Chains A and B, each alone.
Chain A
Amino acid sequence: MSVAPVEIERTEAESAPFEVPDPDVPWVTIVHNDPVNLMTYVVYVFQTYFGYPKEKARQLMLDVHHKGRATVSSGTREEMERDVQAMHGFGLWATLQHDK
């Protein structure tokens, strides 16, 4: 009889996650400027992969070009790893990081 509560306690402790990711601090995918990729190609990638409207895709491309980098998507770490992998597939220079 006295064992049961201990077991329950242990189960709870084991199922508790070690790190609780802060849902308010998402991960982001950043595309960096490079001298080779064509502006029209970068817009194409943002439109086709992310499904962004042309104006948004174009603005992001200009941000990459003028500011050196732009945040192109945000979400969970897994989602951002998928986006970065896709960007590398298109030949864009992309990284992911915890948003600040």
Chain B
Amino acid sequence: MTGLFKRAHGGGAQLTLDPVEASILRSLMVQMLELIGPGPGEDAPEDPLAALFAEGPTKPPADPALARLFPDAYAEGPEAGELSSEFRRFTENDLRARKRDDAVAVVRAIDDAEEDRKGRAVVRLDPDGCRRTLGALNDLRLTLGSRLDVSEDDDSLYALPDEDPRKPMVMAYLWLGGLQESLLETMF
């Protein structure tokens, strides 16, 4: 049923989605945007100059999916916790902003898609859009993977009965993997 990314004439990539797929992909990206949010800097001062100098969070996010997107930078040694906090304080806000920008770029590309004769959305990406979409698809898979508790040793997720409530998310996770793989093939 599903279309995959194809190399576009003149560079970039192109993806044809039926309206349901386009709406699922868009809605998953929007949900991830809500999850990432502005982050703990939310209560940053209104003054843009003060916001510029506002420091980022020092603790890892409590949500496991966010903790995966924004992991600790130091894992070993007695000072790992302190060094990770310091690193996080100076990097996490930038990282959140970048991941948000990438997801927003995908939402825009879907919104800007042209409709073909069969009513399908033709999403076109320039090389920069490809790079952003690749990152956003990966972030989305990490998010769903964390929610589903995906592991390398347990493939029972891929044989769930239809009535299992996790089934739709597993289908989406696998679909996104196929999209990401096909996008990579066009870029590489």
Q: Check A89–B181 contact: CB distance below 8 A.
A: no
The closest CB in chain A to the CB of B148 belongs to A36
Among A38, A40, A41, A88, point to the contact of B70 (Cβ < 8 A). Answer: A88
Among A30, A40, A88, A89, point to the contact of B184 (Cβ < 8 A). Answer: A40
* Number of interface residues, chain A, beta carbon within 8 A: 23
In the complex, chain A residues whose CB is within 8 Å of the CB of B181 = 38, 40
The closest CB in chain A to the CB of B75 belongs to A95
Cα-based distance from A36 to B181 in the complex (angstroms): 12
- B69 interface contact, C-beta 8 A: yes
Q: Check A35–B180 contact: CB distance below 8 A.
A: no
Among B72, B87, B184, point to the contact of A44 (Cβ < 8 A). Answer: B184
| Residues in chain B within 8 A of chain A (CB atoms) | 68-77, 87, 91, 95, 98-99, 134-135, 138-139, 141-142, 145-146, 150-152, 177, 180-181, 184-185, 187-188
In the complex, chain A residues whose CB is within 8 Å of the CB of B72 = 95
In the complex, chain A residues whose CB is within 8 Å of the CB of B71 = 88, 93-95
| Binary flags per residue of A20-53, CB closer than 8 Å to B gives 1, else 0 | 0000000000100111111011001000000000
Interchain residue pairs A-B with the least CB separation, the first 7: A36-B145, A95-B75, A91-B138, A35-B152, A97-B76, A84-B73, A35-B150
In the complex, chain A residues whose CB is within 8 Å of the CB of B77 = 97-98
Cα-based distance from A44 to B77 in the complex (angstroms): 30
In the complex, chain A residues whose CB is within 8 Å of the CB of B68 = 34, 93
Q: Check A97–B184 contact: CB distance below 8 A.
A: no
Among B74, B134, B151, B185, point to the contact of A97 (Cβ < 8 A). Answer: B74
Contact count A vs B, C-beta below 8 Å: 75
26 contacts between A and B (CB under 8 A): A30-B75, A33-B152, A35-B152, A36-B142, A36-B146, A37-B141, A38-B180, A38-B181, A40-B188, A41-B180, A44-B188, A84-B73, A84-B87, A88-B69, A88-B70, A89-B95, A91-B69, A91-B135, A91-B138, A94-B73, A95-B72, A95-B75, A96-B73, A97-B74, A97-B75, A97-B76
Among A89, A93, A95, point to the contact of B98 (Cβ < 8 A). Answer: A89
In the complex, chain A residues whose CB is within 8 Å of the CB of B69 = 88, 91
In the complex, chain B residues whose CB is within 8 Å of the CB of A81 = 73, 87
The closest CB in chain A to the CB of B102 belongs to A89
Q: Check A38–B152 contact: CB distance below 8 A.
A: no
Q: Which of A40, A84, A95, A98 has the most CB of B within 10 A?
A: A95
Cα-based distance from A88 to B184 in the complex (angstroms): 19
